[in-house]
Structure 1
Amino acid sequence: MRRHRLRSALAACSFLVAGLATGCGHATRTPAGPGLEKKTITVAEVPLVDEAALHVAVTQKLFQAEGLNVRVEPVTQSIAALPALKRGQLDVIAGANYVTFLQAHQQGTIDLRIISPGAAEAPRFMQLLVLPNSPIRTPKDLEGKTVAVNILNNIQSLTLNEVLKANHVDPAKVKYRAVPFPSMDKALKNHDVDAIHTADPFTTNFQQELGTRMVVDGGGAPVTGLPVSGYVTTREFVSKYPKTAAAFQRAMEKAQSLAGDRARVNAVLPSFAHVDAATAAKLNLPQYPTSLDPAGFQRLADLMLSAGLLKGAINVSDVLFQAPAK
């Protein structure tokens, strides 16, 4: 039932279908702060645990404290919001998958600026799950098997391959199949795949409903702390509205810090992640970094390059937004 509600909410709130319909979002309301070039911004988000800090910022009125109104609109995939971002229909994408957006930046699809960190890998944040009676018991057993990931050649396979190599498994012998998160349980039950690589709230739901068990901790060494997703915009936005961008960044820095308190995250998860309070308390959360760490982003870009996900090196400092001095 929880999974059905999640699917229904995502379908109903996809602004790419509904044209940014007002019924799916919510906003803070306050007079514009002094000197802000734009008083209201629209943030698209994929309703996953990665974006808990955004909702902490809303509930704690951190945007209001900066004189900023923020309207939040759910979407089904972060990359699906890219056309609207380029058209100026929205201003920031929350939960943006860094791998996808760094690729889009290099391809010239977007002149990317990462405005705030969102989530980084943490133990058990991503997990490789199998059915309870599966013969797969160890990472080595995955060789020759098929693993479901949400998007092919992206953050899941990139990080899982690093974990597999650390466990003496040849990633080239593991096959990946694209399966949307909400459909992974069906694919596993039907034996369309041998294992699923997923994240919460789906992980906990699948464990409760199917009795799945973890074979590989996808957030463990050596990828713990690697940036996964965050808040992105365009160079045009931060150039045109630098004080507005800085106000958003300051509010998010405070919110990311508050998200280090598990109780604050538990309190907001039912409002957007479509889980009840009891389930929220069981979810495996990512790290919520409080600053844009160039070294961490460069490590991610270098891993992408070595995995063939980039055609050339990227200096990530070029895409990290640095607020102008007040």
Structure 2
Amino acid sequence: MRRPLTALAAGAFLVTASACGSSGDPGAAESGSSSGGTTTVELGLIPIVDVAPVYLGQKKGFYGKHGLKLRISTASGGAAIVPGVASGQFQFGFSNVTSLLLARSSGVPVKAVSNGIASTGLRGKDFAGIAVKKDSPVKSAKDLEGKKVAINTLKNINESAVRESVRKDGGDPDKVKFVELAFDQMPAALDGGQVDAVCAVEPALATIKSQGGQVIASPMVDVAANTTVALYFTSTRYQQQHPDVVKKFQAATAESLAYADAHPDEARQVITTYTKIPASVLAQVTLPKWPAEPNRESVEALARLGEQDGFFKKAPDVDALLP
């Protein structure tokens, strides 16, 4: 069910924006294929804890009940998934809020259709954290000045949140050296000394802790009290042309989110089906929250931070993005 997604640069936004504006038959790839009353849709995901509800929803038959069959492709970050959805390669995708705001500000017509995940809101007990190697001289976010920090994608929510953590700790975020690295490569890179710190999410964060790594900051908590971190989305064109399929996806995903939130043990277990996390580390994984609705205030906060750090060409329209 899982196929690797070829990484697409964020610069592809402008190309896909024009592709979405083209006329003609969108083809089977964009419309999804139907068979026996079931519609097969392509979904781009990141193989991290965040998307456990989708895999659990598949297992429980929620998507099948609504007449959908998911074909999942994986990528290292939401910035790689956005162009795939905008161009019609995928009908739906999962991406962090900042990458979606960046897409909207660049003229890429994407639209959130469902909530994705939220921070736990608990400092030191979140599913995302800035981590350093055991015995590292880096003890706080301010100490990241001049240091090499790995994030999964440049100019996404993780960079924005790390910058805010550094800023709130009295440091200068412009002095941090950000490097791009997939989440699953972060534990080895940190342990091997290739980077000074990482902004990791689960299950990579649990792996780092099992190696003796220490969490020095909770960047999503620094953004807002209850940060909406990521959303499921489609292209505005697909939503207009296939509103029935979008409604089915929304309904099935809502059921999946609610079930995962109410059954954390099952959500934790399903992570083993799409990641390589060892059973010994699985118990240490901190699960995010999976609320039904996005927290608008946190999305607005991320929009302000993105503007402050020069991520956007123009201020993104939050209303145009949110469901």
Q: What is the TM-score with the length of structure 1 in the denominator? A: 0.80
Which residue does the alignment assign to 1:106?
105
Deviation of 1:235 (Å): 0.5
Q: 1:265 to 1:278 in 2, by over 3 A?
A: farther
Which residue does the alignment assign to 1:136?
138
Give the letter aligned to residue 244 of structure 1: V
Deviates more, 1:157-166 or 1:195-204: 157-166
Give the letter aligned to residue 258 of structure 2: S
User: Residue 37 of structure 2: which of 32, 36, 40 is its match?
Assistant: 32
For each residue in 1:123-166, what CA deviation from the matched residue of structure 2 results, as whole angstroms up to 9, or x when unmatched? 42221222212122233333333322222232112112222333
2:8 is the alignment partner of 1:14: no
* Percent of matched pairs sharing the same residue: 25
Structure 1 consecutive aligned stretches of length 4 or more whose deviation exceeds 4 Å: none
Q: 1:255 to 1:114 in 2, by over 3 A?
A: same
Deviation of 1:115 (Å): 1.1
Give the letter aligned to residue 116 of structure 2: G
2:248 is the alignment partner of 1:250: no
For each residue in 1:178-203, what CA deviation from the matched residue of structure 2 results, as whole angstroms up to 9, or x when unmatched? 23333334433443332222111111
Give the letter aligned to residue 281 of structure 1: A
Which residue does the alignment assign to 1:54?
54
Deviation of 1:48 (Å): 0.8
Q: What is the TM-score with the length of structure 2 in the denominator? A: 0.81
2:301 is the alignment partner of 1:302: no
Which residue does the alignment assign to 1:176?
178
Quick check: 1:30–1:68 contact (8 Å CA) kept in 2? no
Quick check: 2:224–2:301 contact (8 Å CA) kept in 1? no
Quick check: 2:56–2:270 contact (8 Å CA) kept in 1? yes
How many positions carry a matched residue from both structures? Answer: 292
Quick check: 1:63–1:251 contact (8 Å CA) kept in 2? yes
Unmatched 5+ stretches in structure 1: 1-8, 18-28, 34-38, 322-326
Quick check: 2:104–2:317 contact (8 Å CA) kept in 1? no
Give the letter aligned to residue 32 of structure 1: G
CA RMSD of aligned residues (A): 2.6
Q: 1:151 to 1:44 in 2, by over 3 A?
A: closer
Q: 1:165 to 1:78 in 2, by over 3 A?
A: closer
User: Residue 201 of structure 1: which of 183, 200, 203 is its match?
Assistant: 203
Quick check: 1:201–1:275 contact (8 Å CA) kept in 2? yes
Give the letter aligned to residue 257 of structure 2: Q
Quick check: 1:14–1:76 contact (8 Å CA) kept in 2? no
CA distance in structure 2 between the aligned counterparts of 1:102 and 1:222, rounded to whole angstroms: 15
Q: Secondary structure at the match of 2:220?
A: coil
Which residue does the alignment assign to 2:80?
80
Unmatched 5+ stretches in structure 2: 8-33
CA distance in structure 2 between the aligned counterparts of 1:140 and 1:302, rounded to whole angstroms: 21
CA distance in structure 1 between the aligned counterparts of 2:61 and 2:72, rounded to whole angstroms: 14
For each residue in 1:29-67, what CA deviation from the matched residue of structure 2 results, as whole angstroms up to 9, or x when unmatched? 99537xxxxx22121211111111111211221112222
Which residue does the alignment assign to 2:16?
none
Quick check: 2:85–2:92 contact (8 Å CA) kept in 1? yes
User: Residue 289 of structure 1: which of 291, 304, 309 is its match?
Assistant: 291
